[in-house]
Structure 1
Amino acid sequence: MTRTLMFFSAGLAVAGNSAHAEFVSDSKVTLEARNLYFSRDFRQPGGSLASGQSKAEEWGQGFILRANSGYTEGVVGFGLDTIAMAGFKLDSSPDRSGTALFPTGSDGASQDEYSKLGLTLKAKVSNSTLKVGSLLFRNQMLLSPDGRLLPQMFKGSMIEVSEIENLSLQAARITETMASQSGHWTRLTGNRVGGEGDDYTFYGGDYKVLPDTSIGLHYGSLDGVFRQYVANASSLVNLSPSDSFKTDVRLAKSEEDGNFRALDNTSVGVMGTYKSGIHSFGLGLQKMMGDDPYPYVAGTDPYLVNFIQISDFANINERSWQVRYDLDFAGLGIPGLGLMARYVKGSDVKLSSGSTGTEWERNTDIFYVFQSGVLKNLSVRWRNATVRSSFGNDLDENRLIVQYAFSVL
């Protein structure tokens, strides 16, 4: 625990130093406390196909301190962002580890605590920003997962340019990653297709054609493993003051990079959502084509319409459909309360045995955010999932997440 407290204190110290710099007026420091209980019950005989465990169940407490400075004055403004994180084990045992909440030792047991510290130097000219250091992403090419105790981080550099109205350009080079349940930097690898690369680079742009319509085109490459071209379009049409229809289209073409084994995947995904008052109804369709599954950087979330709580439905030749329902209880007099339920069914999966497989997943997500009083901004969320597969794990999963974030500065 001493190491964790040292890292966490270092983050606080950097935040304090930033607060006394010239750019304090635009600085922001927040602290988030996240308590997470995770339970995954493997239903098939023999337990998990990977470990043989019948259950993975752990409970932990995480803290995330973010200190983002403003920029110094001048043609080129400089700043510093800091993120310090610490995770503590509250309950676990060797026969229930493997939830990806904590690092595990050589004996398979989860460690009692771990920590992360990330520093990011930034510079800004006009409406263009350069960041170098620790980075978190939520874009078409890299999506840092945040469904465990602490988020995943990357090390590298990124530039964002917004000099032309309605056009946003991005480019990045990533050299290492720190997984959600780790406190150490590691090399980048390919998920589903294997392979290890020295770096991952991506660039592209998004253009807002109309106020509620945008298109994007992006390219990414895990050096020596795979390269990927991604096109996307989204549009929101207001049908009446209370009714709207939103479409989300995603296309991707993936192939090998360098001397890596032959790789071929094309994915198509479409999601349509009709919103009427407090109700939303969604329908999604996704199709994999080619001789390989959809590749992406290991540990990240794939940019797919049918990637949900556990499954990505991105196996070889797989086609899948999704139905989703959302309810906002604010219209019923309970602001802060929400419900989401969805079901995804996948079929025609090409298996190594030569046969075909099927799978399905059902999710329920209920959350409440306190709106006033001493508990204001405290959120409580219950996530439930059921997965059944003819070729993978059958499992039932529950996550209970309690979060509270407040501003320090």
Structure 2
Amino acid sequence: MKKSTLALAVALGAIAQHAGAAGFIEDSKASVSSRTLYFNNDQRDALSANQRSARGVDQRETATGLKFNYQSGFTQGVVGFGIDAQALVGFHLDGGRGHHPNSNSFVPSDTDGSAVSSWSSASANVKARFSKTEAHLGGALAPNLPILIASDGRLLPQTFEGGTITSKEIDNVTFNAGQLEHATGRASSNSTGLAVNGGSKESNQFRFGGADWKVTKDLTLQYYYANLEDYYKQHFLGLVHVYPISEGQSFKTDLRYFDSSSDGKNGQAGYGFNNNGGYAKNANEVDNKTWSAMFTYALGGSAFMVGHQRVNDDGGFVWMNQGSVVNGNGGSEGAGGSSFYLFTDSMINSFVRAGENTTFGQYSYDFAALGVPGLKTSIAYLHGDNIKASNGSGDQSEWERDMRIDYTVQQGVLKGFGTTLRHGAYRGSGTGIHDQDQTRLIFNYTYSFL
């Protein structure tokens, strides 16, 4: 039995003796969420139309996911204890052979390359609270930090296993620290070890620590450190400032900087890093500095955003993901799919290869300003150039255009029912990435029992 599993079992036994204590039951929350997603990904230049269909490159699939979530309150006493639990299940509804790629993070592949009919996973963690400090040990963890973001961009959310601590003992400062050992991907029933995005050898140790300091009500400073054993060490600095100009009018500045370097066995056989398909000063080794700046002017329901991002010339940006676990047919079993804390983490592409300069902009509108609450829309455009190819030349470029519209029912029987329509188009020049048109139609609903 793994040490983390044994510790979880012991803690559950102790909590069970106090489950009747006031607070544990009274403050509990339970819900079931459903998400139905139609996913259409047309890799336009990959092959002929017939070849795209035959080989499953022209992806068109529909699936429904259910998430059962339970969060207890805390038992009484100086140290309060509780439990968080989660069960996930996905059902493939449509999209047979020829429309299901054997390597994707939407629906798992069976051994013959077709989509599985269903998949599921369950996890739980015990938690303890002392004063303004809270600790979690076990699974069902979903970090949302600059150095790690649990992805929820497809049907089911990605979850992690390990231990985390959050402390607010100092006014206006939030400390976060922890160690993660495994993750369950967005389209997988199994947990796997961790790896740098693009790596194949699994690591079972991702350690992190850092703090968010709210200097004033309008200014927040951040620093985080992360270490994925035998892959990379990473420092992050962030600044967020909102300047209120007048009622309904503001100007926001958001600055982010990452400094990543090699750790341990990185660069050795099995511990390589493909540098996001681009150039690396030292082949397969992590060596990167990336800065990003975004400025947003908000007026009424409108928000105008512009920004720029620069990836240095030595290697591509890195973030934590999962190892490349394959099934019996050589296809992905659905592990992976992490997000990362940069403005270019867009619908289709990432814009994070060595040397890349990306300029981006977005316009969004909240129709609540016109008396239609729940309706929002946005359009974004990103253009990256000076990308260094694997041979060191820097003449590659790429662009992406994303559009979305969201509506959430505000009242009545269907209150909380949400619909999202997204469309993205990607084109690259010499990048080696297929031109793509992608459409997603999503229906969300959450019912709370407690």
TM-score by length of 1: 0.92
2:420 maps to which of 365, 370, 381: 381
Q: Which is worse superposed, 253-262 or 144-153?
A: 253-262
SS at match of 1:95: coil
List aligned pairs for 1:23-38, cutoff 5 A: 23-38=24-39
State the AA in 2 paired with 1:267. T
1:278 aligns with 2:301: yes
Name which of 70, 77, 80 aligns with 1:77: 80
Equivalent AA in structure 1 for residue 45 of structure 2: Q
Q: Is 1:407 the counterpart of 2:448 in the alignment?
A: yes
**Counterpart of 1:33 in structure 2: which amino acid?**
S
Match of 2:275 in 1: none
Name the SS of the counterpart of 1:196 in structure 2.
Answer: coil
| Structure 2 gaps, min length 5 | 1-15, 268-284, 322-336
Mapped partners of 2:62, 2:307: distance in 1: 33
Q: What residue number does 2:375 align with? A: 337
Q: Please say which of residues 19-28 and 389-398 is displaced more in the overlay.
A: 19-28
**143 and 172 in structure 1: CA distance in 2 versus 1, 3 angstrom threshold:** same
**SS of residue matched to 2:191:** coil
Distance in 2 between residues matched to 1:18 and 1:274, nearest whole Å: 54
Which one of the candidate residues 172, 180, 190 is aligned to 1:184?
Answer: 190
Task: Tell me if the contact between 1:102 and 1:111 (Cα under 8 Å) persists in the aligned partners.
Answer: yes
- Where do 5+ consecutive residues of structure 1 fail to align? 1-16
Tell me which residue corresponds to 1:147. 153
Retained in 1: the 8 A contact 2:80–2:129?
Answer: yes
Choose from 43, 57, 60 the match for 2:60. Answer: 57
Question: Whole-Å Cα distance in 2 between the matches of residues 19 and 369 of structure 1?
Answer: 40
Q: Distance in 2 between matches of 1:83 and 1:212?
A: 35
Give the Å deviation of 1:118. Answer: 1.1
The answer to whether the 8 A contact 2:182-2:193 is kept is yes
Aligned counterparts, 1:163-178, within 5 A: 163-178=169-184
- Structure-2 change in CA distance of 1:284 and 1:199 (3 Å): same
The 8 Å contact of residues 56 and 97 in structure 2, kept in 1 or not, is answered as no
Task: State whether residues 192 and 296 of structure 1, in contact with CA within 8 Å, keep that contact through their aligned partners in structure 2.
Answer: no
Could you say what secondary structure the match of 1:330 adopts?
helix
Equivalent residue runs for 1:243-392 within 5 Å: 243-261=249-267, 262-298=285-321, 299-355=337-393, 356-390=395-429, 391=431, 392=433
Range with bigger deviation, 150-159 or 183-192:
183-192
Alignment match of 1:132 (pick from 137, 159, 183) = 137
Query: Take 1:72 and 1:346, find their aligned partners in 2: how far apart are those partners?
Result: 52
Larger RCO of the pair (alpha carbons < 8 Å, separation 6+)? 2
Equivalents in 2 of 1:193, 1:341: separation in Å? 33
Compute the displacement of 1:367 (Å). 0.6
For residues 152 and 354 of structure 1, the distance between their equivalents in structure 2, rounded to whole angstroms, comes to: 35
Deviation at 1:195, TM superposition (A): 4.5
Picking from 140, 159, 167, the partner of 2:165 is 159
Q: % of aligned pairs identical?
A: 33
Q: Distance in 2 between matches of 1:343 and 1:52?
A: 30
Shift of 1:362: 0.6
Deviations 1:231-288 (A, max 9, x none): 1010111001021011110000000001312421000000110000110000011000
Query: What is the deviation of 1:148?
Result: 0.9
> Which residue of the partner structure matches residue 273 of structure 2?
none
Equivalents in 1 of 2:127, 2:174: separation in Å? 18
| TM-aligned CA deviation for residue 341 of structure 1 | 0.7
* 1:34–1:62 Cα contact (<8 Å) kept: yes
- Partner SS state of residue 331, structure 1: helix
* C-alpha RMSD of matched pairs (Å): 1.8
Partner deviation per Cα, 1:57-96 (whole Å, 9 max, x = no partner): 1101111111000000000000000111110110121211
Q: Which moved more, 1:54-63 or 1:275-284?
A: 54-63
Instruction: Tell me the TM-score normalized by structure 2.
Output: 0.84
Aligned to 2:327: none
